[in-house]
Amino acid sequence: MTTLMISVVMCVFNGERFLAEAVESILDQDFQDFEFIIVDDGSTDGSALILDSYQRRDPRMRVYHESHSGVAKSSNKGCELAQGKYIARMDADDVANRDRLTLQVEFMEAHPEVGVLGAWVEWINATGKSLYISTNPAVDSEIKADLLLRRRCAFWNSTVVFRREVFARSGGYRCSVIAEDYDFWLRAAENFQLANLEMVLVRYRIHSSQVSIQQRIHQTRATLAAQFAAKRRKDGLPDPLDGLKEITSEALVAWGITIAEQRSEIFSDYRKWIRIMCAAGEYSSALKTAREVLEAGVEDVERWQVADVYLTIAKLLWRERQFLGSATSAGHAVLLRPIAVGRPIKRLLVRPSRENI
């Protein structure tokens, strides 16, 4: 009996805006030995109609319409249905290069010791404009250091291919962890080697409705919890996330992660995504988010980070020709961090870019 080589698994929730381009980028792969499993997680827009139209045209597609239950549960369903030797993940707003599957299968076949493989991505904005090449470490030791020590997810989900036994042995995605992919890679890393191809295989879309932006506070707490749980497992201690239904601030405090640490990490992650939204041209969303972050309170946050957000607001307001508001925000930055005075004033005259992302 011939074994299917790859199962591509995609989860969709109200993704109609970019869905057709994402689906076609998989169906147009030069590697043909795959099935395409798509779990529609209770979409209320036109996603279901789009998926059904493609399924009627291409026998490789298997679409499942479910009630809304979240990305982790939908991912588990898709991976459990997979029949391929390898499982490739794909998001509904990204675009795969035509040779993505070919190059990743060739690598995995040549490196049986590797359980999980990713690649670099090219960031694009909502209109498809190229923004930035985002790299990740290539070798196992560096990837694991990023995951465990730096709380950095060293994989882009839409680039990942893993052996089917990785999913089974790692226990799948945990529904209580909103940062379900980061938690999954940490658990996979305990039993398998990891790798990234040093080449761009996917165009990763940045837009204001991404889960990473909309659920930033919950995701930051979830990554802190997943990192803590991984360190506990490494020390031979019970996993505190086993059986946990929800990760709360109080739970993190009970594990020794103080409110001050949580606030600092949440602010830092927000600051990063504000700059990413600026790079993608999502200026109104960046400005709205920056203001909300400051209004939420900056206790326990390093002054330079707060000053940097004020400077970002100043540039965004300057861009909108709101010069008084821009000057006020710049003044707040100077009061917080006088060294900011030394920055060339011309930085207020250029649009926010991808610098320091």
Instruction: With 0.85 as the threshold, say if the pTM is over it.
Output: yes
> Do 280 and 159 fall into the same domain?
no
Q: b/e map of 331-341 (b: 16 or more CB within 10 Å)?
A: ebbbebbeebe
Q: 219 with 157: CB under 8 angstroms?
A: no
Is 256 domain-assigned?
Answer: no
Alpha-carbon distance of 120 to 118, in angstroms, equals 7
Query: What is the total count of domains within the chain?
Result: 2
* pLDDT of 323: 93
Q: 219 with 269: CB under 8 angstroms?
A: yes
> Do 182 and 42 fall into the same domain?
yes
Output the domain CATH number for residue 32. 3.90.550.10
> Do 101 and 195 fall into the same domain?
yes
Is 139 domain-assigned?
Answer: yes
Is 231 domain-assigned?
Answer: no
Alpha-carbon distance of 252 to 113, in angstroms, equals 35
Is 221 domain-assigned?
Answer: no
User: Does residue 7 or residue 298 have the better pLDDT?
Assistant: 7
CB neighbour list of residue 328: distance below 8 Å, 6 or more residues apart = none
Q: b/e map of 7-24 (b: 16 or more CB within 10 Å)?
A: bbbbbbbbbbbbbbbbbe
Is 347 domain-assigned?
Answer: yes
Which of 183, 212, 241 is at the close of a domain?
Answer: 212
Task: Identify the CA nearest to 223 among candidates 243, 195, 244, 252.
Answer: 252
pLDDT for 143-195, tens place per residue? 999 999 989 889 999 999 999 999 999 999 999 888 999 999 999 999 999 99
CB neighbourhood size of 351 (10 A): 12
> Do 85 and 183 fall into the same domain?
yes
> Do 190 and 270 fall into the same domain?
no
- Band of pLDDT at residue 356, cut at 50, 70 and 90: very low
Is 312 domain-assigned?
Answer: yes
> Do 54 and 133 fall into the same domain?
yes
Output the domain CATH number for residue 326. 1.25.40.10
Q: Give me the helices (H) in 215-282, please.
A: 216-234, 249-254, 259-279
> Do 285 and 343 fall into the same domain?
yes
> Do 128 and 37 fall into the same domain?
yes
pLDDT for 263-320, tens place per residue? 999 999 999 889 988 988 999 989 999 998 898 888 889 999 999 999 999 999 999 9
> Do 158 and 268 fall into the same domain?
no
Write out the residue range of the structural domain in which residue 109 sits: 6-212
Tokens of 228: 């803590």
Is 345 domain-assigned?
Answer: yes
Is 252 domain-assigned?
Answer: no
> Do 158 and 48 fall into the same domain?
yes
